[in-house]
C-alpha cells in the first residue's frame, strides 16, 4: 500500500476513480460490517435490544450530521484550494476542524446527559425499551468528540489525495469495535455480560482510537496540511467557507434523522419487532449503500479539483463513469438480495416472528438500489462543485415531498409493507428530479469551457 498523493488532474479517470474510491469503499464496508456485527451479537441478547439500537440510530445520525456536514465542507474547500494552488488556506482548514470537533463534541455530551429521556421519547422510543435505549445513548455520547474529529479529518485526508490513509483510520476503528463487541456484549473471559451497554462501550473505545489515529496522520510529515499552532486560531472566513458547502450537507443529515423519527413513530404502532426489522433492513442494505458512499467520496474531490483547475471535460467524464459503474453494481446487488433474503436474515436471528416480518420487508426495501447509485453520484458532484445548497435542496425535496408523506400514507393501503415501499418509490421519483438538475449543470459547465 502506498501513501503517495494521487494526481487528480492527469491520471486516467477510471483507474483514478478506483484508486480514490476503493479505500473509502473498504472503509465504508468495514463500517457497515461493524454495524452488522453489533446487530448480530445483540440479537443474541433480545429483539428488544435491536429495537433499542434502532431507536438510537437516528439520534446518532443527527450527532454525526455535524461531523459529516463539517467534513464535507472542509474536504470540498481544501480540495478546491489545493487545486487552485492556495495551499495555506487548505492547511488552515485542518486547524479549524480540530476546534469545531471539540466544541460540538462537548455540546453533544452535555445535551445527552441533561435530556436523554426526552430525546429518546421524541425519537419514538416505546416505554418498554426506554431504559435500554438510554443506556446506549448516554454511554456512546462520550465518544462523540473523537468520532466527529475522525469524520471531519477523513474528508481532509481524501482532499489531499490520501484516500488510503483515510481508509486505514476507519478500518482500525471498525476492527477495534468488532473485536470488543462480543467480549463486552456477551461477557467473554473476565468481562461481565453487559448487553447493549457493552456495545456502547465498545463503540466509545473504537471512536477514541480512530480520533487519535486521525490526528497522528494529519500532523505527520507526509501530510500536506503541515499542522501548526497558529492554524488552531479561529478563522471565521474559512469556517464560513466550510459551512457554505457543509451546512447544506449537515441539514441533509439532520433531515435524515427526522425521517428516522417518522419511521420509528409509524413502526411503533406495529410493535418492537417492526422497529427491529427496520434496523435489520438498514444495516443489510447498508452493505451496498456504504459502497456507493465510498464511490461518492472518490468522486467529490475529483470533481472539486477539476473544477478548481478548470478541467471541465474531465469533470463531466468523471461523473458519467461513476454513474455507469454504480448502476451495474446496484442492479447486481439487488438481484442477490432478492434471491437470498431469507438466508441472509437467518444469519442474524432465529426468531421466527422477526424473520416472518423481515423477509418481505427486506425484499421490498432493497428495490431502492435500482436507482440510488446515480442519485448519490450526482449529489456528490454538486457537493464537489461547492454547490451544497443544490444538493441539500434536491435531497430535502426527495424526503419532504415524497418519502415522509409515503411513510404516513402507504400503510393505510398496504399495511406494514407500505412502510417498506416508501424508500424505493421516493428514490424513483427523486431520480428524474436529480437527473434534470444534473443535465442543467452539465450544460452550464460546457458553456464555461
C-alpha cell of 313? 471535460
Of 41 and 90, the structure prediction assigns the larger pLDDT to 41
When pLDDT is averaged across residues 167-177 and rounded to a whole number, the result is 89
pLDDT in tens, 18-37: 777 777 788 778 877 887 88
- Judge residue 298's burial from the number of C-beta atoms within 10 Å of its C-beta, 0-12 exposed, 13-18 middle, 19 or more buried: buried
pLDDT classification of 10: cutoffs 50, 70, 90:
low
DSSP assignment letter at 204 = H
Q: According to the model, what pLDDT value does residue 109 have?
A: 93
% residues pLDDT > 90 (the chain): 26
* The pLDDT of residue 2 is above 50: no
Alpha-carbon Rg for the chain, nearest whole angstrom, is 21
Is the Cβ–Cβ distance between 136 and 198 less than 8 Å? no
* The pLDDT of residue 1 is above 60: no
Is the Cβ–Cβ distance between 327 and 374 less than 8 Å? yes
pLDDT in tens, 178-202: 999 999 999 887 888 888 889 899 9
Q: So where are the chain's domains?
A: 13-448
Residue ranges of alpha helices (H) inside 309-368 are: 312-346, 352-365
Rounded to whole angstroms, what are the CA distances from 242 to 93, 223, 245?
8, 20, 6
When pLDDT is averaged across residues 152-160 and rounded to a whole number, the result is 82
Q: Which residues contact 80 (CB under 8 A, 6 or more apart)?
A: 304, 305, 307, 308, 386
* Count of C-beta atoms within a 10 Å radius of residue 254: 18
pLDDT classification of 6: cutoffs 50, 70, 90:
low
pLDDT classification of 448: cutoffs 50, 70, 90:
low
Q: According to the model, what pLDDT value does residue 328 have?
A: 93
Q: According to the model, what pLDDT value does residue 4 have?
A: 53
Q: Which residues contact 4 (CB under 8 A, 6 or more apart)?
A: none
Is the Cβ–Cβ distance between 64 and 147 less than 8 Å? yes
Q: According to the model, what pLDDT value does residue 3 have?
A: 43
Average pLDDT, rounded, for the chain: 84
Q: According to the model, what pLDDT value does residue 419 have?
A: 92
When pLDDT is averaged across residues 240-269 and rounded to a whole number, the result is 81
Amino acid at each position: 500500500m502506498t501513501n503517495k498523493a494521487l494526481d487528480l488532474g492527469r491520471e486516467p479517470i477510471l483507474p483514478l476513480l478506483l484508486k480514490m474510491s476503493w479505500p473509502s469503499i473498504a472503509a465504508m464496508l468495514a463500517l457497515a460490517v461493524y454495524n452488522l456485527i453489533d446487530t448480530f451479537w445483540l440479537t443474541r441478547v433480545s429483539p428488544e435490544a435491536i429495537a433499542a439500537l434502532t431507536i438510537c440510530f437516528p439520534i446518532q445520525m443527527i450527532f454525526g450530521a455535524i461531523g459529516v456536514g463539517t467534513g464535507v465542507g472542509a474536504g470540498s474547500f481544501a480540495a478546491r484550494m489545493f487545486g487552485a494552488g492556495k495551499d495555506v488556506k487548505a492547511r488552515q482548514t485542518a486547524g479549524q476542524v480540530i476546534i469545531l470537533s471539540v466544541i460540538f463534541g462537548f455540546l453533544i455530551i452535555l445535551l445527552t446527559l441533561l435530556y436523554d429521556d426526552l430525546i429518546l421519547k421524541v425519537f419514538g422510543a416505546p416505554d418498554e425499551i426506554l431504559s435500554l435505549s438510554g443506556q446506549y445513548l448516554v454511554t456512546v455520547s462520550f465518544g462523540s468528540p473523537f468520532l466527529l474529529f475522525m469524520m471531519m479529518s477523513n474528508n481532509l485526508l481524501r482532499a489531499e489525495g490520501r484516500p488510503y490513509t483515510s481508509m486505514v483510520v476507519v478500518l482500525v476503528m471498525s476492527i477495534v469495535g468488532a473485536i470488543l463487541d462480543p467480549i463486552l456484549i456477551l461477557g467473554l473471559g473476565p468481562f461481565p455480560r453487559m448487553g447493549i451497554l457493552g456495545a456502547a462501550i465498545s463503540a466509545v473505545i473504537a471512536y477514541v482510537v480512530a480520533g487519535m489515529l486521525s490526528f497522528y496522520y494529519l500532523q505527520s510529515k507526509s501530510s500536506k496540511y503541515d499542522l501548526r499552532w497558529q492554524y488552531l486560531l479561529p478563522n471565521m472566513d474559512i469556517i464560513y467557507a466550510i459551512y457554505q458547502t457543509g451546512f447544506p450537507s449537515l441539514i441533509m443529515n439532520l433531515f435524515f434523522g427526522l425521517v428516522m423519527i417518522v419511521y420509528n413513530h409509524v413502526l411503533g404502532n406495529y410493535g418492537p419487532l417492526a422497529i427491529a426489522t427496520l434496523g435489520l433492513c438498514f444495516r443489510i442494505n447498508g452493505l451496498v449503500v456504504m459502497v456507493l458512499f465510498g464511490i461518492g467520496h472518490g468522486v467529490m474531490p475529483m470533481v472539486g479539483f477539476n473544477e478548481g483547475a478548470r478541467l471541465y471535460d474531465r469533470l463531466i467524464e468523471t461523473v458519467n463513469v461513476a454513474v455507469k459503474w454504480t448502476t451495474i453494481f446496484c442492479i447486481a446487488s439487488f438481484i442477490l438480495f432478492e434471491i437470498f433474503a431469507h438466508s441472509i436474515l437467518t444469519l442474524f436471528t432465529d426468531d421466527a416472528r422477526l424473520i416472518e416480518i423481515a423477509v418481505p420487508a427486506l425484499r421490498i426495501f432493497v428495490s431502492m438500489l435500482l436507482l440510488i447509485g446515480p442519485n448519490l453520484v450526482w449529489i456528490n458532484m454538486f457537493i464537489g462543485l461547492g454547490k451544497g445548497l443544490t444538493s441539500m435542496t434536491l435531497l430535502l425535496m426527495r424526503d419532504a415531498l415524497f418519502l415522509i408523506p409515503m411513510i404516513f400514507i402507504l400503510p393505510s393501503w398496504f399495511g406494514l409493507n407500505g412502510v417498506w415501499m416508501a424508500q424505493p418509490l421516493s428514490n424513483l421519483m427523486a431520480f428524474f428530479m436529480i437527473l434534470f438538475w444534473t443535465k442543467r449543470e452539465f450544460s452550464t459547465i460546457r458553456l464555461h469551457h
